[in-house]
Chains A and B, each alone.
Chain A
C-alpha cells in the first residue's frame, strides 16, 4: 500500500518508449537507485511497518477504539507501569501490572493513580481471547484474538488514556487507519484533476489554456482555509445534493470520504498550475519540437512526451502532497471539521484532544504522543519521495 503512488509514475518516466518492453528493467534501475538512498529506505520501512500495524489494529490494540469503563474510572490514566521483577524474589519475572485506584491530588486537582499490590499481580498475557470484543481485520476476517492483554480489573495502557479513560495506544492504531489512508486517497483526487487540467492547458495553450487557468485562478483566489472549512461543513451536511443523490446519512465512513474529497478538491489547483508552467517551458524544447515536426499527433506528444517529462517534478509535488493532506486533516480536526469523532478517531482528532487542553497538558503529557506517528508518517513520506525523485533522475544516478 505504501508504494502505491510510485507504481504508476514508474511507467511514465521514460519518454516515448513502449511501456511493455522497457518498464520492467526501468523499474529495476529505479529500485537499484532507490536502494542506495538510505534515508528513503528507512522511511519506506517505517511506512510499511506503520501501514501494517494499522491494518492489524484490531489484533495489536489491546482495547477497542471506543472502549472505556465508567466504573472504576480510568480517565487520564498515565501509561501503565510494567513491572519486570518479582517484588519478593527481586528476580526477573514475567512482566505484570497492578490494579490502580484513583484519587484527586489536592494541588493539581488531577486524578493520581496508585498501584494496589495487595490485589495481586496481573501478568501481561499474549494471544488472549476477548470474545465480547471481537473485531475485523481489513473488514474481512472476524476474530477475537488479541496480541496481548491483562485480566480485568487491571488494565494495560501503554500510552495512557484520554479523559474518558480510552486507551490511547489502541486509539492511535485505529486512528492510523483513517489518517494514513486520507492522504493516499485525497492525492488521487488532486492528481487526476491537476494532471488533466494542467497538462491540457499547458499543451494546447490559447483558449483552452485561458479557460482552464481561469478555473484554477477562481479556485485559487478563494483562500484554502475558507474552501476547506466551507466545503467541509457543506459536504458533511446530509442535506447536500451529493448526499441526497447517494442517500448518504453521514456515518463516520461517509464523513471520512467527504473529508477526502474536500482535501482533494482544495489541493489540485497548485498542481495544475505547476504542470502547466513546466509544459509551457518544455514545449519549446527540442524533442517536443522535433516530435511535432515529425508529425506526431498532439495527444501523443502530450501523453508520451510532455507529461512524462514533468514526472520528476510531479513526484516531488505529490510526495509533499500526501503528508500535506495528513497535516491538513489535523488542521481540519483542530477546528472541529475533521472526520467524525463519534465512532472513529483520526490522529488529528487525537491531537486536538491534546491541543484543547492548552497549558494543562503538563499534567497529561502522554496526550502529546499521537504527534509521534504523525511526525513519522509525514517524515517518511517525504523521505521516500526524495529517494524516488533522485532514483528517477538519470542525471543523479550514482
Chain B
C-alpha cells in the first residue's frame, strides 16, 4: 500500500492545477510522438451479442458494456506497463494508516456524453443501486467483505470516502474500478420507480441515443447478430489527452461485428473485413501468414504472446465413502503426485495445442508472472517415478490385464470424466489415459454432458459420484489471484473435498485456508505475494488439483491499424493495444 501512496503523491503533485487532464503516455504505444492521426474506424468482432445495455443487471460482461461502461470514468486505472494504480477519474486519493479508510477527490472536468457534468452523486448512486438487494446487481457481492458492507459517503464537495469493515486486498480493487452511473437519468428512474424500474431500464430495445456514458466512444447503433457501432465521445477528450496534449481518442468510430464463431471472424479477417483478430491456434496463425505471403492482407502477427488465463486440470474426489479403497487412494498426496507424473504435458502441448501451450504447475496462471511461484515442486512426466510412488502405496504387482494391484487384489482402475463435445479436453483425457495405462493404471475416459459434469463436481457430502474429473476454469483477477471459492475448505469450488460437515481433511488444506485469509488482509503487495507463493508451495506438494497446461494467446492486426503496445507488454492481461491510443494509418 505504501507504493500506491508514493505514486499517488507524485502524480497528485504533478496535477496541482485544477482541470488538468489525464495523460496517456507515449510509452504505452509504438507510435512516435505526433505520429497519430485522427479519424478512421476500427472494425473489431465479438462472438456474442450484448444482452442488455443496463450496467446493473448484466449477468455477464458484454462488448457494449465493456467499452461503454467499464471503459468509462473508473476512479483508478492501470497502464499496460505496470500493476500500479494511477488516479483516473479520481484526481488523487489518500489511504489511512490502517488501510481501512480511503478518500478520493474527483476530477471536475468529466462529463457525460450528453454534456452533464459527472459528480460525486453519480458515484454514490451507483453504489446505492449496486448494494440494493432488490436491484440484484452483479456488483452486489463485491461490496461485502465477510458479510460486512463497505461504506461509501460523500466528503466535501468533490470527494468520496470508502470505509472498509476489515483490511482486504480485494476491496481496494472494488474501489479502483468503481464507476459512475448517470444519476440524472437512471438515478431519477430509481428514485421514482424503485429497483424494478431500474432493472427494466436500458434493455437492448432502448434507443441508444437515450443512454449516456463517459467512455471514449459511445454506442450509437446496434443491430442484433450483426454489429455494434460506437462513435467518438467529444467530452472524453476534455479530460484525456496524449503527451502532446491532443484530445483522445484518435479513432472516429469503433465497430464490433457480431459473429457466430471464431471461424467466421477469421474468414472475415482474411477477407479484409476486420482490422484485428486473435488467433486461437497456430493453425490460425499459419492461415494468416499464408494470406500475408500471398498478398491477400497486410497484417502483423504476434505468436505466443503469453499463456492465457485459463487452465485444464484433473481433480480427484476425496469424498468416496462408498469405496474406502479409492477414497484412501485419492486422499493420498503420493497418489496424486504419481498421477501428475503420468500427465505428459509435452505431448498435450504438441498434440492438442499444436505446440502453443505452456505447462502449468499451480493454481496461478502462468501469465501472472508477478504472482506465480516458479520454484514449487513440479511432478512432471516421469512414469518411473510414478511407478515408485504407486509401489509405495502398495500397488506393486500387475495382474493379467497389466493393471497394477495391491496385496489385497484391488486393481488400480479409475474413471476420468470430462465434458462431451469439448475436443481438447477429450483429447487431454485420452493422452493421460494412454500414458497411465502404460504404467498399469487403468483409466477409463467418460464423456458427460457439461451440466451433468458440473453437477457431479459441485455435489457435496461424504460420498460424491465421481472418481476424477478433467475440467477447466477461466478468469480470475490480476491482483490477488487466489479464488475465494477454491482455496477455503468451505468454498463451493474447493472441488476435491466437498464434505461440508467434515471441513478441511488435511493440515495442508487448513494451512492454505489460513494463509488465504491472511493474504487477503495483507495490503502490502510484496507481503501478499510472499503469502501467495507459500500457498502455491503447499498446493504443489499436496497436488489437490493436477494442472496440465494453459494455452498460449496470440494477436494479429492489419498493419494499417497502429498504436499497438511495445512488444514487451503484449500479453493476455493487457492485450495488444490501448484502444484510446489506436489510430488508422493512411
Contacts and interface: CB of A to CB of B under 8 A. Distances in A.
A171 interface: no
Given A107-B293, A163-B351, A357-B283, A342 B447 contact: yes
A107 B282 CA distance: 10
A236 B449 contact: yes
Interface in A359-394: 359-360, 362-363
B286 interface: yes
Contact of B286 (A70, A336, A342, A360): A360
Contacts of B434: 70
Contacts of A250: 446, 448
B100 interface: no
16 contacts: A70-B434, A73-B350, A109-B286, A109-B303, A163-B351, A233-B449, A237-B448, A237-B449, A238-B448, A335-B421, A337-B421, A341-B420, A342-B429, A356-B423, A357-B283, A362-B290
Interface in B408-433: 420-423, 426-427, 429-431
- Interchain residue pairs A-B with the least CB separation, the first 6: A336-B421, A358-B263, A360-B283, A108-B286, A109-B286, A109-B282
Nearest to B418: A342
Interface string B323-352: 000000000000000000000100100111
Nearest to A362: B287
A238 B465 CA distance: 12
Contacts of A357: 283
Contacts of A342: 426, 429-430, 445-447
Contacts of B448: 237-238, 250
Contacts of A100: none
Given A73-B351, A75-B350, A363 B344 contact: no
A108 B435 contact: no
Nearest to A74: B351
A185 interface: no
Interface of B: 262-263, 266-267, 270, 281-287, 289-290, 293, 303, 344, 347, 350-352, 354-355, 420-423, 426-427, 429-431, 434-435, 445-449, 452
B283 A110 contact: yes
Nearest to A66: B430
Contacts of A71: 347
A359 B266 contact: yes
Contacts of A340: 420, 447
Contacts of B354: 109, 163
Interface residues of A, number: 35
Q: Is the interface of B mostly helix, strand, loop or mixed?
A: helix
A71 B422 CA distance: 24
Given A70-B347, A336-B421, A359-B270, 11 more contacts: A73-B350, A73-B351, A75-B351, A107-B290, A109-B354, A163-B352, A342-B426, A342-B445, A342-B447, A359-B266, A363-B287
A104 interface: yes
B98 to A, nearest CB: 52
B431 A237 contact: no
Interface in A158-193: 163-165
Contacts of B445: 342-343
Contacts of B266: 358-359
A239 interface: yes
Contacts of B303: 109
Given A71-B347, A236-B420, A360 B431 contact: no
A340 B420 CA distance: 8
Nearest to B429: A342
A73 B452 CA distance: 34
Contacts of B423: 341, 353, 356
Contacts of B427: 163-164
A124 to B, nearest CB: 26
Of the candidates B284, B287, B347, B355, the one having the most CB atoms from chain A within 10 angstroms of its own CB is B287
A372 B245 CA distance: 63
A64 B262 CA distance: 33
A239 B287 CA distance: 43
Of the candidates A164, A353, A358, the one having the most CB atoms from chain B within 10 angstroms of its own CB is A358
Nearest to A358: B263
